[in-house]
Structure 1
Amino acid sequence: MYVKIFMIPGREYMIKLFWSCFIIMLALSGCGWDGTPTRNNDFIPLTSIEITAVSQTIAAHTSTKLTVTGNFSGLFTRDITDQATWTSNDATVANFAIASVPSRVTGLIPGNAVLTATVGSVSSTFNLTVSSATITTVTVTPAAPSLAQGLSTQFSASGTFSDLTTQDLTFDATWASSATTVATVSDAVASKGLVQTLTVGTSTISATFDGVSGSTLLTVTAPALQSIAVSTTNSPVLSLSSATFKATGSYSDGSTADITAQAAWSSSNTGVATIASGGAAKTLSQGTTTITASLDGISGTSSLKVTGGKLSGITLSAANITMVNGNMTLVKDIAVRMTATGTFDNGSSRDITGAVEWSTGSSTIATVTTPGGNLAWLTPLASNSTTVSAKSGTLTATTNLTVTALTLQSITFSPGSINLAVGTSAPLKVTGTFSGGTTQDVTFSSTWSSNTAAASVGNTGLAKGVVSGDSAGSATISASYGGLTITAPVTVVTRTLQSLALNAAVTFSVAAGNQVAFTATANYSDSTSQDVTEDTVWTIDKPGVAILADSVNQPGQAVGVDSGSATLTASFGGKTQTLTVTVP
């Protein structure tokens, strides 16, 4: 009968086990998985060291660098050369004479020397033989190199001796450059053979040892492109808009240059954005793409984030014109402003007039011109029928246009008179009545003038009919169209501005891609008020959150871009009003 007896470890045994595990953990904490130390070890004792060199024999007057490898209790090894102190048993044969490189030994005369390295209490020796071989040739490498201006590179010198041995002489040779304005070569202990190019040209780089020289011809070429930095002033940006990228090249001579025009541009996701020469990007749908600029084999990148959704529909409208079932009728020769409104798959909508391609079915019947921004003019030229279309990608919106030739009967102003404060403006509208009772806005087809300096009136583009109060007094504004002329009186008065008000709460929320219109109202000391939206200077501090839709053609209108908060500032007459625009 056998009886198994289980022994419970005693307290002394458990303590020994704990400390054994603790020591092993500390040892491993200083090592990587391959046994290489990940940090300096100050716990595991150094048990031995080994001295190594390229060769145990060197020629007199040359030197070699020694390396010390420490073994730490058999657990790991590492280079500890910088911790060693050195001695030679015969300083007349070989000695450590270079203070800045204490591990480099120089052979002085033929013979043997025992070199000792000591780290703490651990020592090791190395037997060095100094031969009597004499130098026969010196070779400098690289051979016939070409290097761009501004770059530096290390040259090496090797010597062949009378005993047919070869030895690195980079440290022992004396270095020189034949044309120091083209390139310099260092002869300093810490950087022997290091060449720095300065200007385009050639220079002979030579290394001399014991009266024997070797050389190579260095050709310094024009500065080489080293890197490209790609930048943009606006990211993120809305879909169906544009972004401008810039490429800056950094060259080997330390200079930089704008290489936007020379670089080749590409987009990693052309469904999100495309980019043309010159760094002009066109955004298409929501997402992220990488924009790359390349030149001379060097590339740089920048990420572009596009927000605002993907276009899902286009709606056309004409200012002051009623469309019936997609049809509109215009009087010949009277231009109207067209607008294309885009709806997007994220539920947002905004003016995309400047982002679509406009066309008509017949350019002899009607044409569309786009001066810039969100502005498009439709001009009917001949009595007939055609179509007007706006296209973006695969989506097209079309309306039918009928052009009629009617006889003008009369023109009228709206309003009939204007009262303005100095420094403000207000629009006058001219309506033409034609044969058959047809009426149409002819404001932008009229010719405008003012008879005094008290008020001026615009006579080009969207400024047509906009009256500005320049100084206190009275003026008569005239509008002429179709051989008829009408006038409207304008009174300009001096008022004291008390406050500026915006038609929104202090904090206003707008979805990314949505367009909203703000108005600014000036309140004066005489209890009058006036809409000064067109006269106000509008700014937004964070274009990555919200932007102005079109500061020229749509003052006071903003579009949400990406989540965050931005400050919309309205400035007029020395007064400033702000509100926070939040994009969820």
Structure 2
Amino acid sequence: RLTVTTAALESIQITPAVVSLAKGNSQQYTAMGFYSDETSRELTQEVSWRSSAIAVATISEQGMAVGVDVGETIISAVKDGVISNRVNLIVNEAVLESIIISPVNASIIKGSTLQHAATGIYSDGTSQELTQEVSWRSSDTSIAIISEVGVAIGVDVGSSTITAVKDGILSNDGRLTVIAISEPVNYFVSVKPKHSVIFVGGEQQFEAELVYDDGSREILPNSRVMWNSSAFNIATITNTGRAKGIVDGGTRIQATLVDNVNVWGETTLSVINVQSLFAYTINVTGGVVLNYGDRLGLTVTGLYSLSNGGFVDLTYTSIWTSSDHNVIRMEGPVAYAVGFGSATITATYEGRVSSVELTVR
């Protein structure tokens, strides 16, 4: 009697054989299985993938390897006890993938200057300040010229496109408009909040408004304002007025009218290390007893300077929780009384904790 069995897997071949990729980038591997009946088929999603040094590169169940750190590792695959060939994967330093310049839309008076900044985004997701490393370009040097360190000078009335390039990577476009000197105006720009403080990694939303001689005020939409930070290495700011602390230090946040760069306002922003936080306290206005159906907005502040009583508002950067969601439901810093009883409300920020007990009757 002759018994015929299913063809057995005899070998596994994975490709590519040698790969060199930048930290943060990925590489797809393929596995082919060769059987005793001389047939073959793809086994990429059936094998178990292995990396000999996961600190250098990891590999998913689908054969996608990702460079984690600089070094070398061996990639292999196994199925039904059959081990594949071993291939080398070399991970190199992260490479520059994109460049972002700011501001992206600015106006200056003929003869005046404006500092531009360039930030590089790398393959591993990190960013680096490149203002003095890129090559700056102005599309129309009869309108504006720009120096090696990103300082643009308005030469004549008109518009020019500002770009930066490094290692063959071209930045986004920045539009620079040069205007003539404007007539005197009866208003100025006010920036809020004044003299604020954030922690490294924290954010602050700024707002600009026009204040007229008669005392009336007008909130300015982002389309009418150019935002700038005097020290981008300390704090960056988006074109919507949201600043982010990079390292400890101080900067000036400036808002300038797009249609008249003679009109601008500024305030200071301090960036401090979270280790400077001495106290972290929830503030309750109106008492700790609520009626069913009420809602209560809570705030939390940190004391960062004992010498001058410096406080920072951490209300919206803290994480808020309730010990009993059936009594108090938290939506950010707002407490909603949804049941009868008591619940402990806790705010946390970078390891700091503050709590208060609220009662619903």
Say which structure is richer in helix.
1
Larger RCO: 1 or 2 (CA < 8 Å, sep 6+): 2
Greater gyration radius = 1
With the length of structure 1 as denominator, give the TM-score of the two structures: 0.31
